[in-house]
Structure 1
Amino acid sequence: MWKKRGKGWKVFFTRQQAVCVAAGIGLYAFMAIASGRNGGTISDGGGLKRAGPGQGEITYEIEVSGLDKEEEHRKVPVRIPVSERRYSEREATELFDRLENRLEKEILGENKSLAEIHSNLSLKSGLDDYGVKLRWESDNPELVDSLGNVHNERTKEQGEPAVLRARARVGRHEHTYEFHVTVYPPVMTPEEKAADEFLTWAGEEDLKQQTEDYLKLPSVYYGKKLNYYLPKDNSYRLFPVLGLFMAALLHIKKGMDKQNRAKKREQQLLFDYSEVVSKLVVYIGAGLTVRGAFERIAAGYEAGIKEGKREVRPAYEEMLKTVFQLESGVSEGRAFGEFGRRCGLQPYLKLCTLLEQSQKNGSRQLRQALELEMVSAFEQRKNLAKKLGEEAGTKLLLPLLFMLFVVMIMIVVPAFLSFY
């Protein structure tokens, strides 16, 4: 760190800062040495190392000097692709010989040996570490297919033979392996074996009784009495969980409905605020008192509700409650204050503050204050309408995207089907 001492500047490092600087210098030196070893000049005896067989092509970015006839020492960047190394004939033969025992072990899967196959085989499509590609064939695909699936449901107890051929290819070298396998029936527990035998017998009885309305099951089977039962339907156990889930959803829905009602009420209060203030300005300007203006506005709203010309609005409902309070003897200051608190929004609290101040200081400046508030209220209403319009446009995005997705499917699917 730099710090001023007297007339000059001196450098002061903490221990941690010194370690960081030393580490940066050390890493730079290490990378410079490594770069010198790995890069630098490629001598006449050097070259570009190929990737191993099956690992693909490598592209080297090198700089070559001497290509520019005017400036011999100028280095020209060149990208040289180097193909993978290929096996020689002798190397390929040795590789195929080594892989035979490995393939014989890897294709077994869960089986113990090729002479006793009970389950599916693991037939790989290649050995990436050697770059060898494999293609499998079977002389009895109904018993063992080329994917290694074993179909031994109806195989004889003494087993059935099959031959698997693997065509191995690496570069231009090819070799064919043959594996002789014997497939046996799947290993079953005594219960599974008895059930399989009974199922076979039931199938034979079904063929015999095809003209009957019902398949008659035997009461005695190999000297033993049989009883038949339909399995119980346990799907109804899910009902209590569904009930709890629905109860949780109803609780969440109740909370969301409450929030939506509160949000809708708030929006209606904000929309009606400018109208309420403008009516107060008109009635107070006509010579009515604040109480008289409230009573006149509430009476007009109540008459409109009775005639069915108006819908219920929260702002006017609160004004009706305020008028009822005034008629019951509550003071105007208290009634107006409770009106603002019930509405719970800042514009109404401001309005009630103006009305309460007019009760204390006189209503000389009330009309002018209300006119200024009316201008602000209409501006606020305009901004609210603009905001709601933007929200409505955002809500339409999802159905529009869904319609776009449907249209794309209608266009793309026939185009794809035309290729078949």
Structure 2
Amino acid sequence: MKKLCIAGLIVVEGLSVGLWLRERAVPETEVTAIERNLPGEGSSEVDLEVHTSLGAMPFHLDVGERAYSAEELETVFAQGKAWLDSVWLGENASPEKVTEDLYFPDKIENTGIAVRWIPENSRWVQYDGGITEEARSEAPAKTRVRAVLKYGTEERGYDYELTIEKPELEGGALLRQSIQADVLRHQAENPSDETFLLPASVGEETLTWYVPKKSDGLKVFVFGNLLVVLFYLSYEDRKFQKNRQRERELAADYPDIVYRMILLVSSGMTVRGAWEKMVQDYCRWRHSTGKRRWGYEEMENGLWEMNYGVPELTVYENFGSRCGTRGYIRFAALLIQQVRRGARGMNEILAREVGEAEVARRENGRKATEESASRLLFPMLLLMMVVFAVLMIPAFLSMHF
């Protein structure tokens, strides 16, 4: 990479020196005149260097476009008028029958000529060429507009006459308008009747009236499915949160369960006797406090299995499987080994297990603290914004600009 950077610097420096030498070798070109832009192209900017007795100095010029001569201007005005004649009607076919909006351009491209439109009646024709609803309601309406072409101080005006007509309706739109007119006529003829008789026909068209059906099937389908999906997602989320809470509580109970098991087995009790003693103590604690602990709840389930005749070793194996964590599975395996072999050194193994469980519990507590801190971050940001607004808004309001 270092070699590539050095090679790049060498290439850039070489090109820079070469371009500088070429510029120095080319003689300066003397300029006596600057060509103007054509009319309508606008002014041009030119950077020059002027040499005087005091030396060379940079000079920036803004050269205006070329103006039309008198003969050229008349020709350009005539061409502009011909172009307006071809476009001002927009989508209308004839000025005697105007049903759509007109097209009023504000300039003629590539000529420098500006166009200003002056309607005779702005309530009918707007300055941008739009036809108003008032004009359509009063159709046929005759009016005129004036186009003023301007270049510099020169102006030319041209008048256009037009007749505004109602848009022609076809098919369903025409039939709807006819039905609407017939309904209004029926209402006006019998204003005092207790009931209003709907027209049975319009011209040659037979009319049959119905109350439209209100179909809520699509709404029920969409919102019902959406609610089902949301309910399922909410259920899964609650289930997930419940499982996480159970895992956290199992991890919190684990050191206490192992430690008490060591004490009871070391005092001479069998594993089953220690198990029953721990469950009995937990039941009394639960009855007095009304609280539950998942680890001891699973031990109580195991005691029920023993009382119903499930083999002791199977109960310990099921206990580890139900708890599901690596610590409980290892603890269940140690209990099975203790029952089968009465292995020596089991207390030391369980003691080490307690130490590891304590370390894991502290680590879980640290993670829970970090998660709580991250959840509090957004409310803290909102509170900071509120405090900032309380401090800064009065300061800005008190400032005089």
TM-score bracket, normalised by the shorter chain, equals 0.5 to 0.7
The CA deviation at 1:275 is: 3.0
Task: Report Cα offsets for 1:51-81 as digits up to 9, x if no partner.
Answer: 7777777777x696979x8xx79xx9x7957
Q: Select which of 65, 69, 82 maps to 1:101.
A: 82
The CA deviation at 1:373 is: 2.1
Structure 1 partner of 2:5: none
SS in 2 for 1:163: strand
Q: Select which of 335, 348, 356 maps to 1:373.
A: 356
User: 1: CA distance between counterparts of 2:368 and 2:304?
Assistant: 32
SS in 1 for 2:126: coil
Q: Do the aligned residues in 1 keep the contact of 2:44 with 2:64 (CA within 8 Å)?
A: yes
Q: Select which of 104, 119, 122 maps to 1:138.
A: 119
Give yes or no for the alignment of 1:261 onto 2:239: yes
Q: Do the aligned residues in 2 keep the contact of 1:265 with 1:314 (CA within 8 Å)?
A: no
Structure 1 partner of 2:318: 338
Counterpart code for 2:29: S
Structure 1 partner of 2:65: 85
Structure 2 partner of 1:285: 263
SS in 1 for 2:82: helix
Q: Using a 3 Å threshold, how does the CA distance of structure 1 residues 211 and 373 change in structure 2: closer, same or farther?
A: same
Q: Using a 3 Å threshold, how does the CA distance of structure 1 residues 143 and 374 change in structure 2: closer, same or farther?
A: same
- Any residues of structure 2 matched to 1:21-420 within 5 Å, and which? 43-45=29-31, 80=60, 82=62, 85=65, 87-88=67-68, 90=70, 93-126=74-107, 133-150=114-131, 151=133, 153-156=136-139, 159-169=140-150, 174-189=155-170, 192-193=173-174, 195-207=176-188, 209-210=190-191, 214-218=195-199, 227-230=207-210, 232-233=212-213, 235-236=215-216, 238-239=218-219, 242-243=220-221, 246-247=224-225, 249-251=227-229, 253-286=231-264, 287=267, 290-305=271-286, 309-311=290-292, 313-330=293-310, 334-352=314-332, 355=335, 361-362=343-344, 363-393=346-376, 396=379, 400=382
Q: Which has the higher helix share?
A: 2
Structure 2 partner of 1:16: none
User: 2: CA distance between counterparts of 1:144 and 1:392?
Assistant: 62
Q: Do the aligned residues in 1 keep the contact of 2:119 with 2:127 (CA within 8 Å)?
A: yes
Structure 2 partner of 1:4: none
Q: Do the aligned residues in 2 keep the contact of 1:138 with 1:144 (CA within 8 Å)?
A: yes
Q: TM-score, length-normalised on structure 1?
A: 0.65
Structure 1 partner of 2:3: none
Q: Using a 3 Å threshold, how does the CA distance of structure 1 residues 370 and 218 change in structure 2: closer, same or farther?
A: closer
User: 1: CA distance between counterparts of 2:376 and 2:195?
Assistant: 64
Q: Do the aligned residues in 2 keep the contact of 1:58 with 1:82 (CA within 8 Å)?
A: yes
Task: Report Cα offsets for 1:77-127 as digits up to 9, x if no partner.
Answer: x79574763644645554433222323333333221223212222334445
- More deviation in 177-186 or 355-364? 355-364
Structure 2 partner of 1:7: none
- More deviation in 373-382 or 89-98? 89-98
Q: CA RMSD in A?
A: 4.7
Task: Report Cα offsets for 1:333-386 as digits up to 9, x if no partner.
Answer: 543343333233344445445555655644231342133123213312322321
Q: Using a 3 Å threshold, how does the CA distance of structure 1 residues 213 and 336 change in structure 2: closer, same or farther?
A: same
Structure 2 partner of 1:18: none
Q: Which stretches in structure 1 are left out of the alignment for 5+ residues?
A: 1-24, 416-420
Q: Using a 3 Å threshold, how does the CA distance of structure 1 residues 123 and 232 change in structure 2: closer, same or farther?
A: farther
Q: Do the aligned residues in 2 keep the contact of 1:52 with 1:85 (CA within 8 Å)?
A: yes
Q: Using a 3 Å threshold, how does the CA distance of structure 1 residues 202 and 391 change in structure 2: closer, same or farther?
A: same
SS in 2 for 1:269: helix
Structure 1 partner of 2:8: none
The CA deviation at 1:277 is: 1.4
Task: Report Cα offsets for 1:11-54 as digits up to 9, x if no partner.
Answer: xxxxxxxxxxxxxx9xx99xx99xx89xx887332888877777
Q: Do the aligned residues in 2 keep the contact of 1:125 with 1:133 (CA within 8 Å)?
A: yes
Task: Report Cα offsets for 1:310-342 as digits up to 9, x if no partner.
Answer: 14x544433332333344455555433433332
The CA deviation at 1:229 is: 0.7
Q: Which stretches in structure 2 are left out of the alignment for 5+ residues?
A: 1-10
Q: Do the aligned residues in 2 keep the contact of 1:284 with 1:290 (CA within 8 Å)?
A: no
User: 1: CA distance between counterparts of 2:115 and 2:230?
Assistant: 59
User: 1: CA distance between counterparts of 2:359 and 2:365?
Assistant: 10
Counterpart code for 2:258: L
Q: Do the aligned residues in 1 keep the contact of 2:149 with 2:157 (CA within 8 Å)?
A: yes
Aligned positions, number: 363
Counterpart code for 2:241: K
User: 2: CA distance between counterparts of 1:231 and 1:54?
Assistant: 64
SS in 2 for 1:43: coil
